[in-house]
Amino acid sequence: MEMVLIMHWYLIQVLVLVEPTWTLMTSTSGTLLQKGVTGRSLNGYTLETVTVENLVKCSLLCVANEDCFSFNFEHGTTGMAQCDLVYCNAETNNSALVSQSALTYYGQISEAHVPLCDACVHSPCQNGGTCMVTGPFPANFTCECLPEFSGNECENAVLDEDCGVDPTYTGVKQLMAADRRIFSAYCEQGWSYVLKRVDGSEDFYRTWVEYQQGFGGRNNEHFIGLDNLASMLRGRSYKVRFDLTPWPTNVSTPLTGFAEYSTFDMADESDKYRINITGYSGTAGNAMLVQNGQQFSTYDRDNDVSISNCAVRFKGAGWYNNCHRCNLFGLYANGTLCPKMGQCVSWFTWPAQLAPPNSNNYASFKEASMKIYPI
Ligand SMILES: [Ca+2]
């Protein structure tokens, strides 16, 4: 039996005598009720071993250390004694409590949450997995992983983060961005499609919320969604490519054209999906030059720099400036001629003149897409 009297400027002493040894210590930061297990010490979870004058000093060191939850103390010596600070708290039946006649283990009895000394004490399961103890410390645990992760410690994502992970795959795939956002995309030779226009089957004159979430079947006309795109772009770096196919015309024009940008990034909703798009190369002309640095707008959310509402005026959505030189989210016309200037799926910098009067502002494309590739 042992009596401990603690007097300290921030520690109020209380003494309780029960079997085997109880010590109630109250500090300004809370109550620490400690139970001593005489003749045994806890092995394997030591934070630090120090030598101290007495038990009170050992207790105080543990109280002052936010990572310390229990300790071993060496009794019966004159002068300095061993004090092992322990980073967790053991129940008295813990198999790591071993006989050692000179030592007493002081565990903690507290209503506050304390980490238990077991194989899960280091939280070995990653990505939100739940740890379960299967035997003695340190290796005996299993992780119950969330559905999107696998591996002994849930370290492997089940889903690819973009289409670039498997360039041989063509088709729709479920992806998970680095921030764990799960969504689907159309994949082709490592490219992840952001936008696809092919036949006018999907309505693109849509609301802010619809553009945030994405719409359309991923095998056909669709938009991937601003929040999905922002998640992908946050995870790694991408280049972006626009592919355009004009309607068959009787004028001399390339059958297809493209614009690729070596730098492509986009803010999230907090900056209204503002884009940074530079490093043009291609055959379709640099129509995105005017859109670079702009926020996204829809007919119900005017973030453009025009005094008018560009999305309403040009019947689309996009990174409008004052207003645009390409309108890939615009109306779909079943032919080259767009009924109204700039309202259709247009790309003004196309190298050949597609439609009168003397400009491509009245031209509409048969097919258009936007896709990204990891760099
Ligand atoms: Ca405006």
How far, in Å, is the centroid of ligand 1 from the Cα of 308? Answer: 5
Dig out the tokens for 70 from the structure: 């229990």
Distance between Cα 204 and ligand 1 center (Å): 19
Longest Cα pair distance anywhere in the chain, in angstroms? 105
Tell me the CA–centroid distance for residue 200 and ligand 1, in Å.
27
**Is residue 26 over pLDDT 80?**
no
CA–centroid distance, 252 to ligand 1, in Å, is 37
Rg (alpha carbons) of the chain, rounded to whole number: 33
pLDDT number for residue 17: 30
Neighbours of ion ligand 1 (CB under 5 A): 302, 304, 306
How far apart, in whole angstroms, are the C-alpha atoms of residue 364 and residue 348? Answer: 10
The pTM of this model reads 0.70
In the predicted model, is pLDDT for residue 373 greater than 60? yes
> From ligand 1's centre to the CA of 326, what distance in Å?
17
Tokens of residue 188, six digits: 């082709």
Measured in Å, residue 323 CA sits from the centre of ligand 1 at 9
pLDDT digit string, tens, across residues 329-340: 999 999 999 999
User: Helix, strand, or coil here: 270?
Assistant: helix
Least confident of 13-22, 224-233, 268-277, 355-364: 13-22
The predicted structure's pLDDT at residue 2? 37
Strands (E), the chain: 11-16, 21-27, 30-42, 46-52, 70-74, 81-86, 97-109, 130-133, 141-144, 149-150, 156-157, 171-176, 182-188, 191-197, 222-223, 238-246, 257-266, 275-282, 365-374
Q: How far is the CA of 302 from the centre of ligand 1 (A)?
A: 5
Residue 260: band (very low, low, confident or very high) from pLDDT cuts 50, 70, 90: very high
Task: State the distance from the centre of ligand 1 to the C-alpha of 231, rounded, in angstroms.
Answer: 27
Give distance in angstroms: CA of 291 to centre of ligand 1.
14
In angstroms, what CA-CA distances link 197 with 111, 330, 349?
61, 10, 19
Cα(99)–Cα(86) distance, rounded to whole angstroms?
17
- Sign, CA dihedral 245-246-248-253, equals negative
CA distance 48 to 44: 11
If you measure from the C-alpha of residue 269 to the centroid of ligand 1, how many angstroms do you get, rounded to a whole number? Answer: 18
pLDDT of residue 4: 39
Q: What single letter denotes the amino acid at residue 258?
A: F
What are the structural domains, with CATH classification, of the chain? 11-109 (3.50.4.10), 118-157 (2.10.25.10), 163-374 (3.90.215.10)
Tell me the one-letter amino acid at 55. Answer: L
How far is ligand 1, taken at its centre, from the CA of residue 304, in Å? 5
Whether the ω angle into residue 357 lies within 30 degrees of 0, i.e. cis, is yes
Residue 282, beta-bridge partner list: 259
State in Å: Cα 69 to ligand 1 middle: 60
Going by C-beta distance under 8 Å and a sequence separation of 6 or more, which residues neighbour residue 275?
A: 264, 265, 266, 267, 291, 292, 293, 294, 296, 319
Residue 316 Cα to ligand 1 midpoint, Å, equals 13
Instruction: Give the residue-averaged pLDDT of 287-314.
Output: 97
pLDDT band, residue 35 (cuts 50/70/90): confident
How many A from CA of 310 to the centre of ligand 1?
A: 6
- Going by pLDDT thresholds of 50, 70 and 90, the confidence category of residue 1 is very low
